[in-house]
C-alpha cells in the first residue's frame, strides 16, 4: 500500500520551506529556497512546483499525495488568496491557490502561518484533544491562531486572530501596521529589542547589550545576557512577560481557552519569557478562570514547525 503524504509549504519573507509529511508528523524530504527574486508570482510558483518534483524523486517508497497545505503571510483561507502581504514581492490580491492548482491535481489549503501553527498543534502537537486553545507566535511580529468549539476561528472574512495588533496603549509604540500601542510592538522578538533599547536609553546601568546595534542584536544574545545576570536583559524579559501575561488574561475573557501555546523565536528564550508571562497571566485572570488556563510551549518538533503546521492543514481537512 502506498503511503499517504501531505506537502507542507511555508512561505516566509526570506525563505520558502517545503516538505513531505505523513499523518503522524514524520518529515520525509524537505528543502528551502529563497522567496524573493521572482517579480511574477507565476515564476515563483513554477520554481515551487519544480522543487516539489525534485523532492518527490528523493522518496524511495510508494506514496500518494493527499493535498498541499500552504502557510503564507496575509493568506485568506476562504478565497485562497494572498492579500497585500507587506513582506512579499507580489502586490495586491494574488489568487495563489488557483495558481498552484495548475501544477497539482490535489486539494490545496492556504492560511496564515499562525493559523497553520494552531492547526499543527491539534494534528501533531500538544493540543490533540483540545477544543479551545490559542497559539501565539512570537517572531518578528506577534501572530495568533484561535480554536473555539474545536474549530479555528477564521471570522467573517478569514482575517480573525490578529492579536498582535490589539492596542494596549493609545499613546504607545507604533506597530508594523501603524497601530498605536499594538501588542507586537512590545511582545515579539522585535518588541523585546525595542524594550532593551528603551531601557538602555533610560538607565545608566552597564550592560553587555550596549555593544550591539539594533540590527545586530539577536534574541539569543539577549537570552545569553539574561543568563549572565545582565540587569537590562532581565528587566526587558520581565517587562515583556508582564505585558504578555496581562494581555493573555484579557484573551481568556474572550474565548476561555484550556491552554495558550507560545512558539517562535521569543518563546525559545524559555523560562525568561514563560515565567513572567505565567505569573502575570495568573495574577490578572478573573476569579473563575484562576488555575484553569495552562501556558505551554508548542508540542511540535521545534525545527520544522512551519512545514508541519502547513501540512497539518491537509490532515485537518482529510480527517473531517
Terminal-residue alpha carbon distance, the chain = 22
Of the candidates 68, 74, 92, 52, which has an alpha carbon nearest to the alpha carbon of residue 5?
68
Q: Is residue 55 at the binding interface for a copy of itself, with CB under 8 A as the rule?
A: no
Scanning the structure block, which residue is given the C-alpha cell 494596549? Answer: 168
Crossing angle (nearest 10°) for helices 113-123 and 305-318: 70
At 108, list the grid cell. 490545496
Q: Which is nearer to a copy of itself, 163 or 233 (CB)?
A: 163
Q: Is residue 155 at the binding interface for a copy of itself, with CB under 8 A as the rule?
A: yes
- Residue 49, CA distances (Å) to 41, 53, 55, 96 in order: 12, 6, 10, 13
Per the CB < 8 A criterion, the answer to whether 71 and 15 are in contact is no
The angle subtended at Cα 200 by Cα 268 and Cα 172, nearest 5°, is 80
Interface with a copy of itself by CB under 8 A: which range of 93-101, 104-112, 242-250, 300-308?
242-250
Stretch 199-238: interaction string toward a copy of itself, x if CB under 8 A: ----------------------------------------
Report how far residue 35's alpha carbon sits from residue 74's, in angstroms, rounded to the nearest whole number. Answer: 15
Selected from 28, 148, 200, 224, the binder of a copy of itself by CB under 8 A is: 148
Q: Which is nearer to a copy of itself, 217 or 281 (CB)?
A: 281
Contacts with a copy of itself in 19-38 (CB under 8 A)? none
Q: Which is nearer to a copy of itself, 81 or 223 (CB)?
A: 81
Q: Which is nearer to a copy of itself, 90 or 154 (CB)?
A: 154
Report how far residue 306's alpha carbon sits from residue 124's, in angstroms, rounded to the nearest whole number. Answer: 12
Report how far residue 22's alpha carbon sits from residue 78's, in angstroms, rounded to the nearest whole number. Answer: 25
Q: Is residue 112 at the binding interface for a copy of itself, with CB under 8 A as the rule?
A: no
At 180, list the grid cell. 498605536
Stretch 250-279: interaction string toward a copy of itself, x if CB under 8 A: xx-xxxxxx---------------------
Per the CB < 8 A criterion, the answer to whether 77 and 69 are in contact is no
Interface with a copy of itself by CB under 8 A: which range of 7-15, 34-42, 101-109, 280-288?
280-288
Q: Is residue 162 at the binding interface for a copy of itself, with CB under 8 A as the rule?
A: yes
Closest separation between CB of residue 46 and a copy of itself, Å? 29
Binding site for a copy of itself (CB under 8 A): 74, 83-84, 131-132, 146, 148-149, 151, 153-163, 165-167, 170, 177-179, 246, 249-251, 253-258, 284, 286-289, 292-293
Amino acid at each position: 500500500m502506498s503511503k499517504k503524504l501531505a506537502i507542507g509549504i511555508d512561505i516566509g519573507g526570506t525563505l520558502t520551506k517545503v516538505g513531505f509529511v505523513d499523518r503522524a508528523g514524520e518529515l520525509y524530504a524537505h528543502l528551502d529556497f529563497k522567496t524573493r527574486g521572482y517579480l511574477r508570482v507565476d515564476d515563483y510558483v513554477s520554481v515551487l512546483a519544480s522543487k516539489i518534483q525534485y523532492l518527490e524523486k528523493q522518496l524511495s517508497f510508494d506514496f500518494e499525495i493527499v493535498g498541499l497545505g500552504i502557510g503564507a503571510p496575509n493568506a485568506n483561507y476562504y478565497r485562497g488568496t494572498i492579500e497585500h502581504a507587506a513582506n512579499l514581492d507580489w502586490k495586491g490580491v494574488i489568487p495563489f491557490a488557483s495558481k498552484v492548482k495548475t501544477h497539482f491535481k490535489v486539494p490545496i489549503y492556504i492560511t496564515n502561518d499562525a493559523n497553520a501553527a494552531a492547526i499543527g498543534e491539534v494534528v501533531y502537537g500538544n493540543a490533540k484533544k483540545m477544543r479551545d486553545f490559542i497559539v501565539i507566535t512570537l517572531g518578528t511580529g506577534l501572530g495568533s491562531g484561535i480554536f473555539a468549539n474545536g474549530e479555528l476561528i477564521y471570522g467573517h472574512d478569514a482575517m480573525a486572530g490578529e492579536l498582535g495588533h490589539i492596542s494596549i496603549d493609545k499613546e504607545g509604540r507604533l506597530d508594523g501596521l501603524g497601530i498605536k500601542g499594538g501588542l507586537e510592538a512590545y511582545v515579539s522578538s522585535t518588541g523585546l529589542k525595542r524594550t532593551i533599547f528603551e531601557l538602555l536609553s533610560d538607565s545608566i546601568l552597564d550592560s553587555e547589550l550596549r555593544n550591539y546595534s539594533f540590527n545586530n542584536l539577536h534574541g539569543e544574545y539577549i537570552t545569553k545576557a539574561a543568563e549572565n545576570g545582565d540587569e537590562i536583559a532581565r528587566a526587558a524579559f520581565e517587562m515583556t512577560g508582564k505585558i504578555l501575561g496581562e494581555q493573555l488574561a484579557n484573551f481568556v475573557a474572550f474565548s476561555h481557552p484550556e491552554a495558550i501555546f507560545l512558539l517562535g523565536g521569543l518563546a525559545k528564550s524559555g523560562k525568561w519569557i514563560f515565567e513572567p508571562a505565567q505569573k502575570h497571566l495568573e495574577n490578572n485572570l478573573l476569579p473563575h478562570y484562576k488555575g484553569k488556563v495552562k501556558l505551554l510551549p508548542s508540542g511540535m518538533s521545534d525545527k520544522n514547525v512551519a512545514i508541519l503546521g502547513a501540512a497539518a492543514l491537509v490532515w485537518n481537512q482529510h480527517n473531517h
